[in-house]
Chain A
């Protein structure tokens, strides 16, 4: 018996309008080509012709509904963006309902990835809220026959300043919905001093559902009459099914059908890996059936992938001249002529996202004869439009005709922006003629991820007696994320090297960054903070090495290395700055130094010199996703090499903050995720196969080996809102390893720490 649970998120865009009570004021907003926000009142007619970005609806009973079009995977975004609308609207948060959007390109960017949500949508949400507020104020002025400047919205009602009359939002809806929608230049935004919700904390909107087990994630999504599928995928990426025998699988009670899924064609993209699916009336029956399959595989072109061997290839590539991707001065000449050159090589292995909820999706495909007539997918996805774009072609449908409902995500970290699992569910549903829910087991997840790349970074610096580099050479070799989309892509892309190498903040006269060649032999994807992981591990560790080489204090040396307060010349360097304007989002060395100083101050950095052997402080800083982080990590390493991390201090400057407590939670979580990666993160391949399979051999830190205490200071800033989710990951691992050096004299250049003996005497 399968209870059919209606997803709370399963409300379509049209349904949102239709569901609004008769006579509601419904507003839609969009950004024009000139980046201006236009808001209009929604009627059924202009809904078809207008490209809406978001909806605000106010019902006659006063209930305000706000559409959340980004995915909730733990950042609190499903609460934070609607809070911005509600603030400008002067709505009472207790009378706001949040409605999760389906995938629809007319809503604008829905790819909840790249730490972009607040940056992209803060202004748009304010315009939407201010528009609705202005219309309500004008409606009150009309009703009372008084000047509009005497009518001010205040906590879900409009108040007349000279008579103390007040009227609720709901009572104004019928008049407001007859008014023209004000143009952008007629709006007055609230001053920051009047913010009701922006910068103030509230429990996330899903809190009570989460705490009582009612929250619906992708694994919980149900459709009437659905089957459950578990899939045997090729053990090597690019492999295919030679033959299979399903006799034993079909003997498992509950197994309904066994269906082959074809391998992707061309580049992996977001297509399924292929394999054999067992569909059954429960997850467990499908799982047992899958394990009972007898499959002969053709391993294909990646059958010999061996990461021990491949690491040597990468090291060789990073140690010979490569293609220059940033070059000023003549670093080669200065390095060649210097008699004080420091060199170091760093490596980070493949990593897996391993989100607590494995990839899961349910799809219902309806056909007439051979023709697909409809498809509805409900999934834990970071990007419902990518689901449409992947599922549509796979079924021969237009992407926009695929309906995608978004559940809560049991974390994502980038994995769930890649919807291969949704395509699997859709293909199976089409074949079997019933809704099919695909659950990835943990083993499936670890074996078949879009892995964080394996990398090698070589660094050289020609330094003076104070450890100040006159020349700097960085050379990176790793399979690029681009290879997942284009098999010919064989060197790090511009957007990748800009995460820690070409955006080097240090003040160095001669600087050169090169990339080497490396082909991919598995699917490479983006994982929280992406190429910053390996590149800032190298660069921030190397800065510490230069300090120790010259016998300097690493903190003082780091501030000198950062140089004078200034803005980097983004255009001259050729940095994309994530597409953000250099005016709103300069690369501000002063802000980077400020967070570094703040972290050092909180940690009482100077006491590090008095710590006994086995204890130490390490420092690192980084600008990532347009935000600035300073980290100090304290470690205790026992003589027999056991590592403890009693305390971490983090200063973050991410500009204006909407939800301070959620930002602090992201900073804490980033330190812990980075601890896992630094201590244990290592995926290896032999004979093309991933050698790890679950949390027993791909370990995560838990309560006992995570940092015990994480002190976070979020800088009070009026600067434009920057990224948060990924921003504070990169500088943690180098700060940790710098602390280990301070404690033990052991320099860690190859992660993870588990591979090293940290004992000392």
Chain B
């Protein structure tokens, strides 16, 4: 029987095949629908979650590869929406439709964890997620705000 550690909780998964993408395990088997589907080929970044703190695309990560790593999804990024990126996203009014923003925030949170003073070039290269509504300028501004808060801590 496969088990998986998500947001600090171990879930028993029964007979879910090992080659099932983590994205669909989270969404369909655990009911954690905060992580979204966008492309299935790691081109859009929308399904980004953290595995042991690193941003990965759950649509191309198989359940069997996860082992006992600690997975963090948006539902576990903070208890109450108080992570610096969530606060900055709200302050800058980033979301339009909001669908891609979970992946954007997970990507930004992982980047800021390793680099809390990203340059514009850093943001350009690290934040390759697609947003069809076109929120990029606000994402950039929000990342800089979140970085300031994280530096202050």
Contacts and interface: CB of A to CB of B under 8 A. Distances in A.
A702 B130 contact: yes
A409 B102 contact: no
Nearest to A697: B43
B135 interface: yes
Interface string B14-42: 01010011001001111111111111110
Q: In terms of DSSP, what is the predominant structure of the interface of chain A?
A: loop
Contacts of B124: 703-704
B136 A694 contact: no
B44 A695 contact: yes
A702 B75 CA distance: 25
B60 interface: no
B74 interface: yes
A410 B97 contact: yes
Interface in A401-446: 408-413, 439, 441-442
Interface stretch (A239-247, A330-338, A362-370, A665-673): A665-673
Interface string B69-92: 000011100101100001001100
B129 A2 contact: no
Contact of B34 (A201, A213, A284, A355): A213
A207 B94 CA distance: 9
Interface string B116-153: 00001001110111111111111110000000000000
B98 interface: yes
Interface residues of B, number: 60
Contact of B33 (A5, A354, A673): A5
A214 B86 CA distance: 13
Interface residues of A, number: 66
A75 B31 CA distance: 28
B52 to A, nearest CB: 20
Interface stretch (A54-62, A215-223, A262-270, A535-543): A215-223
A75 B96 contact: yes
A143 B127 CA distance: 60
B6 interface: no
A119 to B, nearest CB: 20
A156 B93 CA distance: 27
B100 interface: yes
A283 B27 contact: yes
B129 A702 contact: yes
A3 B31 contact: yes
Nearest to A439: B37
Contacts of A412: 97
A661 interface: yes
A704 B130 CA distance: 11
B interface SS class:
loop
B134 to A, nearest CB: 3
Contacts of B93: 201, 203-204, 661-662, 665
Contacts of B140: 703
B74 to A, nearest CB: 4
B134 A282 contact: no
B127 A703 contact: yes
Given A1-B29, A214-B34, A669-B133, A283 B24 contact: yes
Nearest to A696: B43
A74 interface: yes
Given A211-B81, A213-B102, A356-B100, A695 B39 contact: yes
Interface string A683-707: 0000000000011100010111011
Contacts of B29: 1, 282
B119 to A, nearest CB: 13
Contact of A408 (B21, B97, B102): B97
Contacts of B125: 704
B105 A211 contact: yes
A357 interface: yes
B96 A665 contact: yes
Contacts of B127: 702-703
Nearest to B87: A211
Contacts of B37: 219, 283, 358, 439
Most chain A beta carbons < 10 A, residue from B96, B100, B105: B96
A696 B41 contact: yes
A411 B133 contact: yes
Contact of B134 (A76, A201, A704, A706): A706
Contact of A284 (B20, B38, B43, B139): B20
Contacts of A662: 93
A204 B20 CA distance: 36
A745 interface: no
B110 interface: no
Contacts of B96: 74-76, 411, 665-666, 669
Contact of A673 (B17, B43, B73, B134): B134
Given A219-B36, A694-B39, A703-B139, A213 B74 contact: yes
B101 A74 contact: no
A2 B73 CA distance: 18
A709 interface: yes
B133 A74 contact: yes
A228 interface: yes
B64 interface: no
B89 A211 contact: yes
Contact of B137 (A212, A354, A442, A709): A709
A582 to B, nearest CB: 32
B40 A220 contact: no
A710 B133 CA distance: 14
Given A216-B33, A442-B38, A73 B97 contact: yes
A283 B35 CA distance: 14
Contacts of B73: 213
B11 to A, nearest CB: 10
A219 B90 CA distance: 24
A203 B28 contact: no
Interface in A616-675: 661-662, 665-666, 668-673
A569 interface: no
B136 A695 contact: no
A672 to B, nearest CB: 3
Nearest to B83: A211
Contact of B28 (A2, A355, A409, A694): A2
A442 B40 contact: yes
A142 to B, nearest CB: 43
Given A1-B29, A696-B41, A702-B127, A672 B24 contact: no
A669 B135 contact: yes
B43 A228 contact: no
Nearest to A76: B96
B24 A282 contact: yes
A412 B97 CA distance: 9
Given A213-B35, A213-B73, A213-B75, A356 B97 contact: yes
Contact of A211 (B27, B31, B101): B101
Interface in B95-109: 95-102, 105
B41 A702 contact: no
B39 A210 contact: no
A702 B34 contact: no
A354 to B, nearest CB: 7
Given A219-B36, A694-B40, A702-B130, 20 more contacts: A74-B95, A201-B93, A203-B90, A203-B93, A211-B90, A214-B34, A253-B15, A356-B99, A356-B131, A356-B132, A357-B97, A410-B100, A662-B93, A668-B134, A670-B134, A672-B131, A694-B39, A696-B39, A696-B43, A706-B134
5 contacts: A213-B32, A283-B27, A409-B99, A665-B96, A700-B44
Q: 4 nearest interchain CB pairs?
A: A213-B34, A672-B134, A410-B99, A3-B31
